[in-house]
Amino acid sequence: MFHDETRSIARRNKIQPSSHAEVQAVAGPSLEEQALMRVAAAAPVKLTDFVLYQPLDDLGVNFFMSTYVGDDPSVSQLYYLPKLFSQTGSSNPGLRQSITAAGLAGYAKTARRNDVKLTATRLYVSAIQSINAAISDPTTVVQDATLMSIVMAAMFEVLVIPRLSDLRNCSKHLDGAVAVALMMLKQKKQTDVTYKLITMSMQSMIINSWISHLPLPANFMELKRRLGSNPKPHLHSLHGDFLDIVTELVDFREALKERLLQRPSDIIERALAVDEIFETFADTMPPHARFQAYRILLQDVEQLAFNGYYHGIDDTSCDSAPTDISNSVPSKFHCPSLEQCPRCASASTSSNSQAMPDHPIVASCTKAWHLEGPTGRF
C-alpha cells in the first residue's frame, strides 16, 4: 500500500562517512542494521479468517444507489439522487433513513435475509416518524428531500410486499406526495431537481393506479396542470409520453366503473379518442419498433384479427416501451368498443336515434400476441 523507502535511506546513510565510527561500534548496531530491524518489526501480519463487515447503514445506501439508481438521465429516473443525498442526507434524517430502509429491503429480498428485512422495517418506522416531523414544519415540508423521502417510503412498500399483493400503504404515501408537491409548486423557489422529482412522483402515481386498479390520487390533475404551466424541455421523455396514454386509460377505466359514460356511442367515442392518442404515439416510434402486418386466411382464427390481419413485432423489441403498449393498450380500449357495438347497433335500428361511428373498430385479443410467426412472436 505504501512505498517502502527504508532500504534506500539505510543505503544513503551507509555511503556517508562517519567521524564517529568507533563510537558506533561501541554503541551497538549500525544504522543499516537498525533500519532492517525496524522493517522486520513492522513486517505485515497475515490475518486469516478475518472479515471486514460493512455497517448496515452504508450497505443500505450503497445497495440502493448501485441497484436502483443510474447516471444516465435518459434511462434513470433517479440519476440526481446521489447529489441530492450528498447535499441533504446528513441534515434530513427522513431522507437518510428512507433510502437506507429501501436499500436494505432490496438487499434482504435479493439475499433472502429475513434479519436484514427486520432491520429495514425498523428503519422504515423511524423514517415515517422523521417524515411526519418534516411535513409538520412549514420550512422543511417544501424541501426536495421531504418529497423524496415520501417516494422512498412508497418504494419500500413495493420492495417488501410479495408479488405486489397489497399496495395500500404505497398508495397512501403517493397520495401524500401529491399534497406535498402542490405546496412545493405554490412556492417560488423551485429548483431543477424539484421539477424532476415531481415528474418522477407523478409517473409513480400513474403506474401504481394502473397496476392496483385504483383511481388516480385526488388533486392529481391539478398537480399535472400546475406542472404543465412550467414546461421544462429536459422533462420530456418517451416514458412520460407512454404514461400519458396510461393516464387516459385509467380515466377511461374509472369512467366505466363509475358509470359516467352511459350511452354506447359515448363509450366508443372515448375509446376511439384513446386509440387516436396511441396511434400518434406509435407513429413517432423508431423504425425497429414499428409493427409489421401479416394476413392469415384461416376461418378458425378470424375472431382474433380484423379482416384477417395481425400486427406483429419482432422479439428483439420485446423489452422496449412499444411492446408494452402493444400488449396493454389495444385490448383495453377495443374490448369496451366491441361490447358496446351490439347495443349501439340495436339502439340505432330500433329508434334510429344513435349513429354508428365512421371509424373502423379493430378487434384485438391477447391470444393473438402469442402466435408464432416467421419473424417472431405476434
Which residues are 306's β-sheet partners?
309
Question: What does the buried/exposed string (b/e) look like for 172-181 if buried means 16 or more CB atoms within 10 Å of the residue's CB?
Answer: ebbbbbbbbb
pLDDT of residue 166: 75
- The percent of residues in the chain predicted with pLDDT above 90, rounded, is 22
Q: Position 114: which residue type? A: N
Residue at grid coordinates 565510527: 21
Q: Mean of the per-residue pLDDT values for the chain?
A: 73
The answer for residues whose C-beta is within 8 angstroms of residue 222's C-beta and 6 or more apart is 182
The string of pLDDT tens digits covering residues 298-315 is 666 655 555 666 555 555
Judged against a pLDDT cut of 90, whether residue 154 lies above it is answered with: yes
Cα dihedral sign, 79-84-89-92: negative
Whole-model pTM: value is 0.65
The answer for residues whose C-beta is within 8 angstroms of residue 148's C-beta and 6 or more apart is 81, 84, 95, 98, 197
pLDDT bucket at 186, cuts 50 / 70 / 90: confident
Judged against a pLDDT cut of 90, whether residue 325 lies above it is answered with: no
Note whether 123 and 116 are within 8 A (CB): no
* Domain spans, the chain: 6-41, 56-233, 256-377
**Lookup: cell for 299:** 376461418
Residue at grid coordinates 385526488: 218
**Lookup: cell for 282:** 406509435
The string of pLDDT tens digits covering residues 255-300 is 888 888 888 888 888 888 888 888 888 777 766 656 666 666 666 6
The string of pLDDT tens digits covering residues 53-67 is 778 889 999 999 999
The string of pLDDT tens digits covering residues 210-239 is 888 888 998 998 998 888 766 554 456 777
When pLDDT is averaged across residues 19-34 and rounded to a whole number, the result is: 55
**Lookup: cell for 7:** 532500504
Q: Position 127: which residue type? A: A
Q: Is 295 helix (H, G, I), strand (E, B) or coil?
A: strand
